[in-house]
Structure 1
Amino acid sequence: MKLFKTLTAAIMTVAAGMGMAAAHAQGQTQDAQAALIQHGAYLARAGDCMACHSTTGRKPYSGGLAIKSGLGTIYSTNITPDTRNGIGHYTEAQFANALRKGIRADGTNLYPAMPYPSYAKLTDADVHALYVYFMQGVTPSDEPAPLTKLSFPFNQRWGMGLWNWAFSSDKPFVAPEGANAEVQRGAYLVEGLGHCGSCHTPRGIAMNEKAFDGSDARYLAGGSLNGWNVPPLRGIAKWSRADIVDYLQMGRNSQASVAGEMTSVVYNSTSHLNDADLNAIAAYLQSLGSAQTVARAPSSASETAAHLTAAKNLTLGERLYLDNCSACHFVHGNGAPRVFPRLDGASIVNASSPDALLHVMLAGAKTPSTAKAPSVLPMPGFAARLNDDEVAALATFVRSGWSNRAAAVDAGEVRKVRAALADQ
């Protein structure tokens, strides 16, 4: 009897130990899965998935955002794990094909509003983390996204296969030759997940990006997007690393503040990245070499400031500047660091096309609220206050004052931008 009790106690002890071990192993598995989902959420932020696949009045990632393109209006899709209207029925292989090749689970082609030419560079590990996140970390939504209905011939999705053959590639990421680990990480984020080239690289006649990595001088050389001149990122010669990090993290720095599409990018994506990745991005951009810059003219800058201070014999543009702009940007045109962007030497001011500057002047702009810079700094729009001739005169002064040397603006250009804003 005593032997039986001893054996029973021993068996119970072993069973208890095995149970504890199993529970511990299960706990470790759950912890690992939670960490993988968290990593996937971070990657989704880095890839700016939220900005395109979410819109006001709908649940996150349920799609419905109207994306204007040269082909027509494309609506983003529901990418929640709903099995009917989302991607809940996708296998991981199908998910990877959509990301890297622009091919849906049913075999049809996506339009390149989805930046699959850039996402082709994603590693298998990052694709897996993203898949796990979207399948297990995102709340399903059965809201159907509006259908994209383009006119002929753009509604023939099979034609995108030919476009992919001619203009896209599904080659994996190749690190810049001779780059250190930080620059390599920055290149992976910029060229791949961040798909910065989608906006900052010029496009060809077929709306194709002309380059996909830093080995090509056209990559990140600037472009045009929905009436905005998109500045080049190669080198960002006048910005320090801290300037680049601040801009991506807060939407403002000592040189500029965000406007246009970049406001959404900072709010939904780059402001959520950690310091190491932001510094890696800055290191990569600066490694690309200095972009050509126009030599500054200090004497002209001081002459403009002195002339505005004296406030005598002013042109219409100068008078409008003093009345509407000088309180924030000051007579020297340098603004206030991290508060009001500088106008002297600003890329948006000196762009070949004045459209982006006119857009901001007419519609205004505001910085996003981010963790590091929660306050929103708005600039009012002057569309209701100034007529086309006045806006043209003011823009002409700003583009030629201080050390700026951009072309004059006429009322017709203002009228065009005003009409585009009315359409929106």
Structure 2
Amino acid sequence: MPDIKSAAFWSFLISGAFLGGTGAHTARAADNDQDLMSRGAYLATAADCVACHTRPSGQPFAGGLKVSTPQGDVVSTNITPDREHGIGDYTEADFEKALRRGIRKDGTYLYPVMPYVSYAGLTDQDVRALYIWFMHGVHPVAEKPLETQLRFPANIRMAMGVWNLLAGREKQETGDSFQYDKLRRGRYLATALEHCGTCHTPRNFMLIEKQDQYLGGGALAGWYAPNITSSKSGGIGDWSEEDLVSYFKTGRAKGRSQAAGPMGEVVEHSTSHLTDEDLDALAAFIKQVPARHNEGVHQARDSFGKPVDTPDLRTGELTRIDDLSERSGAEIYDGNCAACHGQNGAGTADNYVPSLYANSVVGSERPDNLIMTIIYGVDRTTPSGHASMPGFGRNSDVQCLSNEEIARLVNYVTATFGNHDHHVTAEQVAATRTDHLEKMVSHVSVKTTAGSDQR
């Protein structure tokens, strides 16, 4: 959960402000306010607010992160309680309208990269707890992010009113969400707070989620949020609830997948900080989502491949290579990957470095996530530890591979450890090397809260 050490101070100030209350009444007020603060902090973590509202190396919730869309970059806003640059002058009604209806205090529409379509399902009690925490548990930051500048017609915010009518939204829940039964709690987490469908559900030409294909997989700025329905071929129907809980808590499901990119941030900033009960509920709900089968896919993506059993034919003699651009995929793997993943692709015994066979990314029908992981690497920290892999597609302490070399490497890895050679080209790799993608997948260095099947 987020660090809310200041909550006790705020509780004292707020409870003491109620007509100078004393004795048992004051104690009860303080306890109630502390409960709201703690609840709000936990809900903000579950909703992963920090991931989008914090730019790399920026102040928590001060905005400024550029989120890539087909119409340009949407810049996240400052949601700290600063009165001039943030939401410090928002009433609870203003806050609710922005959170659940996508309408700012000044009446203009928000863009749906803010998942108000999902947050519409939040209960009144949870909206109030979030409001109390953002107003009294978040440090105000006097920073004004850049304005969002989108291409026509997306730059006309009034058009979002029509989009909202067509898109629909989650039905608002009632009652105490912390007292729901297991499946209802899991549904609430998945649809309202964690808003899983925002990334994992495909969209139509108007970028509206296709609800008849809920969690069936969707493209995400170079990455691909995979099918996570109960399909045993296209989805994760062969995963157990324990596999899912492990993935949510650590970013690692042994022998299946590791989290990187946007999902790595979700695990780091959000799911790894949920209670065991909530993780169990979330896993139980996702496991029973109706199967969506991917055309042409007949085998689970984490069931392909086996360790390579090739004798080492190297003589120990040094050989001069003048033209490194002509290296084969096997040679590129040997020089850059084998030291960690092993010549046979088995990874490490403790699964810190994952196996490349029985790996849902390598066995996927789509090469997107493997390309992106090679380019950008992995950097994920959870309470269970740190997972790291260098990116080979940008200047760093490791060798920077060319587009052609990455394409050869991807084709070698998928043909050797996955289900086939994807015939990835240098042009496909080049399409992912853009400034806006660099900004989008940069690690968000925020530790006040915790944030795809992608390594």
Give the TM-score of the pair, scaled to structure 1: 0.83
State whether residues 229 and 348 of structure 1, in contact with CA within 8 Å, keep that contact through their aligned partners in structure 2: no
Higher relative contact order (CA 8 A, sep 6+): 2
Are residue 326 (structure 1) and residue 338 (structure 2) matched? Answer: yes
Q: CA separation of 1:36/1:338 partners in 2, compared to 1, >3 Å: closer, same or farther?
A: farther
State whether residues 46 and 194 of structure 2, in contact with CA within 8 Å, keep that contact through their aligned partners in structure 1: yes
Are residue 342 (structure 1) and residue 355 (structure 2) matched? Answer: yes
- Provide the residue aligned with 2:449 in structure 1: none
Q: 2:219 is paired with a residue of what secondary structure?
A: strand
Are residue 408 (structure 1) and residue 423 (structure 2) matched? Answer: yes
- Provide the residue aligned with 2:322 in structure 1: none
One of 390, 395, 401 as aligned partner of 2:405: 390
- Provide the residue aligned with 2:388 in structure 1: 377
- Provide the residue aligned with 2:299 in structure 1: 295
Q: CA separation of 1:420/1:334 partners in 2, compared to 1, >3 Å: closer, same or farther?
A: farther
- Provide the residue aligned with 1:45 in structure 2: 45
Post-superposition offset of 1:204: 1.0
State whether residues 249 and 273 of structure 2, in contact with CA within 8 Å, keep that contact through their aligned partners in structure 1: yes
Aligned counterparts, 1:3-402, within 5 A: 22-169=22-169, 171-173=171-173, 181-211=181-211, 216=212, 218-235=213-230, 236-254=236-254, 255-289=256-290, 292=293, 294-295=298-299, 301-302=305-306, 305-306=308-309, 308-309=310-311, 316-336=328-348, 337-366=350-379, 368-373=380-385, 375-381=386-392, 384-402=399-417
* 1:66-113 deviation line (CA, Å, top 9, x unaligned): 111122111111111222221122221221111111011121111001
* 1:321-360 deviation line (CA, Å, top 9, x unaligned): 3333233323443433540123224332244442321222
Q: 2:362 is paired with a residue of what secondary structure?
A: helix
Post-superposition offset of 1:267: 1.6
* 1:127-163 deviation line (CA, Å, top 9, x unaligned): 1111111112212222222211223322211110000
- Structure with the higher fraction of residues in helix conformation: 1
Q: Which moved more, 1:388-397 or 1:36-45?
A: 388-397
State whether residues 80 and 141 of structure 2, in contact with CA within 8 Å, keep that contact through their aligned partners in structure 1: yes
Post-superposition offset of 1:280: 0.9
Separation in structure 2 between the aligned mates of residue 128 and residue 43 of structure 1, nearest angstrom? 11
Q: CA separation of 1:329/1:294 partners in 2, compared to 1, >3 Å: closer, same or farther?
A: farther
Q: Which moved more, 1:243-252 or 1:183-192?
A: 243-252
Q: 1:95 is paired with a residue of what secondary structure?
A: helix
Q: 1:189 is paired with a residue of what secondary structure?
A: helix
Separation in structure 2 between the aligned mates of residue 247 and residue 193 of structure 1, nearest angstrom? 18
Separation in structure 1 between the aligned mates of residue 333 and residue 437 of structure 2, nearest angstrom? 25
Partner amino acid for 1:234? T
State whether residues 183 and 287 of structure 1, in contact with CA within 8 Å, keep that contact through their aligned partners in structure 2: no
Superposed CA RMSD in Å reads: 2.8
Separation in structure 2 between the aligned mates of residue 299 and residue 376 of structure 1, nearest angstrom? 23
Partner amino acid for 2:132? V
Q: How many residues align?
A: 389
Contiguous gaps of at least 5 residues in structure 1: 1-20
Q: CA separation of 1:112/1:22 partners in 2, compared to 1, >3 Å: closer, same or farther?
A: same
Q: Which moved more, 1:285-294 or 1:109-118?
A: 285-294
Partner amino acid for 2:200? H
Post-superposition offset of 1:419: 5.1
Percent identity, aligned pairs only, is 39
Partner amino acid for 1:295? Q
Partner amino acid for 1:343? L
Post-superposition offset of 1:45: 0.5
Partner amino acid for 2:44? A
State whether residues 51 and 265 of structure 1, in contact with CA within 8 Å, keep that contact through their aligned partners in structure 2: yes
Contiguous gaps of at least 5 residues in structure 2: 1-20, 231-235, 315-326, 440-455
Q: CA separation of 1:291/1:346 partners in 2, compared to 1, >3 Å: closer, same or farther?
A: farther
Post-superposition offset of 1:422: 8.6
Q: CA separation of 1:380/1:60 partners in 2, compared to 1, >3 Å: closer, same or farther?
A: closer
- Provide the residue aligned with 1:17 in structure 2: none
State whether residues 345 and 404 of structure 1, in contact with CA within 8 Å, keep that contact through their aligned partners in structure 2: no
Separation in structure 2 between the aligned mates of residue 252 and residue 297 of structure 1, nearest angstrom? 16
State whether residues 345 and 356 of structure 2, in contact with CA within 8 Å, keep that contact through their aligned partners in structure 1: yes
